[in-house]
Amino acid sequence: MLEKINTLIEELEQLTAEKKEQVEEYRIRFLSKKGAITALFDDFKSVPNDMKKEMGQRLNELRDLAKNKINDLKEKFEEAETSGDNTLDLTTPPLPYVQVGSRHPLSIVKNEIISIFSKIGFTISEGREIEDDWHNFTALNTPENHPARDMQDTFYVSLNPEMVLRTQTSSVQVHIMEKQTPPIRTISPGRVYRNEAISARAHCQFHQVEGLYIDEKVSFADLKQTLLYFAREMFGEDTKIRLRPSYFPFTEPSAEMDISCTICKGAGCNVCKYTGWVEILGCGMVDPQVLENCKIDSTKFKGFAFGMGIERITMLKYQMKDLRLFFENDVRVLKQFTAAEK
Ligand SMILES: [Zn+2]
């Protein structure tokens, strides 16, 4: 009998399993009611009394060993199943390359505009994209039924007809004027929305930067000088500007600003439609009524404001012809701008 026990112990110590089913087979072979170890316990009755102690100890050792070994094997398979480790191949080579993104051209140009105006003391202010009627229109001299509202086809938030997707970042400046006392010198970059058909030259969403300067002795000459500085910083030292009279509800007088064509340098090309000039922004002296709407004393303070589309500036700077390229996020297009970033 001792011999049998020793043989089984040896066998158990070398036990391995390739499959989960094998472990169950072992359990049946050693530990079930008809298993080898159970059979030995049955034989134990016939062991002579003087050998019972030693044999009993040895038999218990065998049973414990069998239980532990089979449990260990079982756990090994269960662990592998839950962690899925058996499918992980650490020798797999890495992917050939990881695609790294690049900064969007609109962000590059926006940051450049911010940096240019920061140098002459403009702060950055941002606001909400869902705006109420007062801040987007009424405070800016565009009350209900005013014809100028037609200039900006608006998305209304359907649950509340008083709320709109802002059509201009001037709304941010209304908040600033309501909260701060002059001097105010700030630019507000951000996304704006208009209900327009999408084409190469128009989109329902685009980006603006608006500037506002309010102080006691601000003049139109200050506006012109600020914009000349901007144009030269943005498009080069030899850039010329010209101002043409225009109309905006919130400025009086109002003007549109052209810069000398960056491509043909004024000689005439298809970008400037052979005029030598391209329009880049609108501007003017803040209408006294707008100051009053925001509780700023218009007899004491004056201000100028300007606004430009970031898409327009970017298209001119990089000579892009289709506005839709900005929103398609084609990596092949966007990657070209990495090198241009300062
Ligand atoms: Zn030109």
pLDDT digits (tens, 9 = 90+) for 66-98: 899 888 888 888 877 766 556 777 787 777 666
CA of 278 to the centre of ligand 1 (A): 8
The pLDDT of residue 184 is 93
Overall residue count recorded for the chain in this entry: 342
Average pLDDT value for residue range 203-226: 93
Same domain, 77 and 120: no
CA of 306 to the centre of ligand 1 (A): 24
Q: Let me know if residue 95 belongs to a domain.
A: no
Same domain, 43 and 127: no
Pair type for strands 123-124 and 184-193: parallel
Checking if the pLDDT of 321 tops 90, the result is no
Checking if the pLDDT of 24 tops 50, the result is yes
Same domain, 78 and 158: no
Cβ atoms of 323 and 203 within 8 Å: the answer is: yes
Same domain, 71 and 147: no
CA of 260 to the centre of ligand 1 (A): 8
Same domain, 68 and 149: no
Same domain, 64 and 112: no
Cα 112–179–181 angle (5° rounding)?
A: 85
Q: Let me know if residue 231 belongs to a domain.
A: yes
Q: Let me know if residue 287 belongs to a domain.
A: yes
CA of 272 to the centre of ligand 1 (A): 4
Please, which residues have CB within 8 angstroms of residue 297's CB and are 6 or more apart in sequence?
291
Whole-angstrom distance, CA of residue 171 vs CA of residue 138: 10
Average pLDDT value for residue range 105-109: 91
CA atoms within 13 A on the CB side of 227: 31
Average pLDDT value for residue range 225-248: 94
CA of 237 to the centre of ligand 1 (A): 17
Containing structural domain, residue 177: 105-337
Here the tokens at position 47 are 């062991």
CA of 269 to the centre of ligand 1 (A): 4
DSSP state of 237: T
CA of 255 to the centre of ligand 1 (A): 21
CA of 146 to the centre of ligand 1 (A): 36
Whole-angstrom distance, CA of residue 324 vs CA of residue 203: 7
Same domain, 7 and 132: no
User: Domain boundary at 33, 53, 87, which?
Assistant: 87
Please, which residues have CB within 8 angstroms of residue 283's CB and are 6 or more apart in sequence?
223, 227, 243, 251, 254, 255, 256, 257, 304, 305, 306, 307
Residue 154: CATH number of its domain: 3.30.930.10
Whole-angstrom distance, CA of residue 135 vs CA of residue 173: 9
CA of 211 to the centre of ligand 1 (A): 27
Look at the chain and report how many structural domains it folds into.
Answer: 2
Same domain, 259 and 285: yes
Same domain, 132 and 237: yes
CA of 90 to the centre of ligand 1 (A): 59
Higher-pLDDT residue of 257, 55: 257
Checking if the pLDDT of 342 tops 50, the result is no
CA of 124 to the centre of ligand 1 (A): 32
Same domain, 169 and 305: yes
Average pLDDT value for residue range 176-205: 87
Residue by residue, DSSP assigns 135-178 as: HHTGGGT--TT-GGGGGS---B-TT-TTEEE-S-THHHHHHHHH
Min mean pLDDT across 89-103, 114-128, 200-214 is at 89-103
CA of 266 to the centre of ligand 1 (A): 6
Min mean pLDDT across 4-8, 131-135, 142-146 is at 142-146
Confidence tier at 203 by pLDDT (50, 70, 90): confident
Higher-pLDDT residue of 161, 178: 178
Same domain, 79 and 51: yes
Tokens 């000689």, residue?
267
The pLDDT of residue 128 is 87
Confidence tier at 223 by pLDDT (50, 70, 90): very high
Whole-angstrom distance, CA of residue 147 vs CA of residue 273: 30
Same domain, 210 and 296: yes
Higher-pLDDT residue of 179, 195: 179
Please indicate, yes or no, whether the overall pTM of this predicted structure exceeds 0.85.
no
The pLDDT of residue 97 is 67
CA of 318 to the centre of ligand 1 (A): 14
Q: Let me know if residue 111 belongs to a domain.
A: yes
